[in-house]
Chain A
Amino acid sequence: MLGLLETGPRHGYDLKRVYDERFGQDRPLAYGQVYSTLSRLLRNGLVEESGVEPGGGPERKRYAITDAGVTDVSEWLVTPESPQTYLQSAMYTKVVLALMSGRDANEVLDAQRTAHLKSMRELTSRKQGGDLTDQLICDHALFHLEADLRWLELTAARLSELGGQFTG
């Protein structure tokens, strides 16, 4: 959110709208969340109130980023995310269980691929219609889904080579 403020002073409602546009496709921000975050940032001196915008409706406070805030954002951006490992994802569990129960690895793969491709198609068509933000988000998701499938393919290939190690 600090990052969004770095582009210019905004008021609370504005912040929520921009965030939703860029990142919140699946999880829109609640107003409460916006304001609680802002007050926490105010307290830490990372943002300041830069004025009140008069207008119809509720009072609109504009918030601007402070120098300390800019430093904080920069630090955050250059700190690499620690790579997430999804060792305990639901899909992994499901596939391993399915295989242990003696199901054909390829069938599991095909079923999963059908499901994956279905959502990938949706993502692809949304990407083609959407703007840059849409594209970035969809690509992100597509690559993850593809990674799942590739893991599945590799697994299926390994299994058919090893021949039922799980079922033992």
Chain B
Amino acid sequence: MAERDDDTLLVGSELRKSFGPTPALDGAGLMVRRGEIVAVMGPSGSGKSTLLHCLAGIVAPDSGTVTFDGQDLAAMRDRDRSALRRGAFGFVFQFGQLVPELSCVENVALPMRLGGTRRKQAEAKALEWMARLEVDHLGGKRPGEVSGGQAQRVAIARALVTEPKVVFADEPTGALDSFNGEQVMRLLVDSARETGASVVLVTHEARVAAYSDREVVVRDGRTRQVELVS
């Protein structure tokens, strides 16, 4: 494990998780500082997505602990974990995280709405973020009616609208071509830096990982911490 300091925001240690007989995580660990962008790399099937899911409290690890801001995720009730996902976490996946029935602006407003914010207020804020990501003109359309790159920008807007502490991004450019991928990454990283959010970025592309501050390699369910070379 890397050394801890006051900047430490999210720590997962000794994480193990199996799906059936196949272990996906076998003692992985990761530490994320405030405002830091960490790339999680590794070949497919190495368990990097599972690591992200464990860190985000989406999947409960079989053993090991995940601590966010000093709180143990495993010890929390589902309600609080959900609240955390709503407020403190943001998610950008390869695709599919948007609710197809809702329009783009409603999708972006969703986390706030789930948190009990009034519709008008939530959608106004959502539009603000969509403007920052240059997709405010798509507000009334449904995710099925916009291009992949636009959908990812909407997803980023949704991930950031609550000004979360951590954004979990799982292959956010996976379904995009290089050009759209570049733009999405630049917007994601810029917005995260602006709001001071940390980013856990799962990718197998070095070009995408190059947007990070440092990288962690997952192989066979174990992490290899790579020293930050200054």
A-side residues, CB < 8 A to B, are 106, 110, 113-114, 116-118, 120-121, 123-124, 128, 139, 142-143, 145-146, 149-150, 153, 157
Contact = CB atoms under 8 A, between A and B. Distances in A.
B43 interface: yes
Contacts of A157: 43
Given A124-B211, A153-B43, A114 B206 contact: no
Contact of B209 (A110, A117, A128, A143): A117
Contacts of A124: 207, 210-211
Contact of B217 (A113, A120, A145): A113
B219 A106 contact: yes
A110 B43 contact: no
A143 B179 CA distance: 12
Nearest to B185: A124
Interface residues of B, number: 17
B215 interface: yes
A139 B229 CA distance: 23
B229 A118 contact: yes
B229 A120 contact: no
A152 to B, nearest CB: 10
Contacts, number: 41
B224 A110 contact: yes
B205 interface: yes
Contacts of A128: 186
B191 to A, nearest CB: 13
A117 B208 CA distance: 10
Contacts of B211: 121, 124
B202 to A, nearest CB: 15
Nearest to B190: A128
B207 A142 contact: yes
Given A110-B224, A113-B217, A117-B215, A146 B206 contact: yes
Contacts of B212: 121
Contact of A110 (B206, B210, B226, B229): B226
A124 B188 CA distance: 14
A51 B207 CA distance: 47
Nearest to B212: A121
Nearest to B179: A139
B35 to A, nearest CB: 16
Given A123-B210, A124-B210, A153-B43, A114 B229 contact: yes
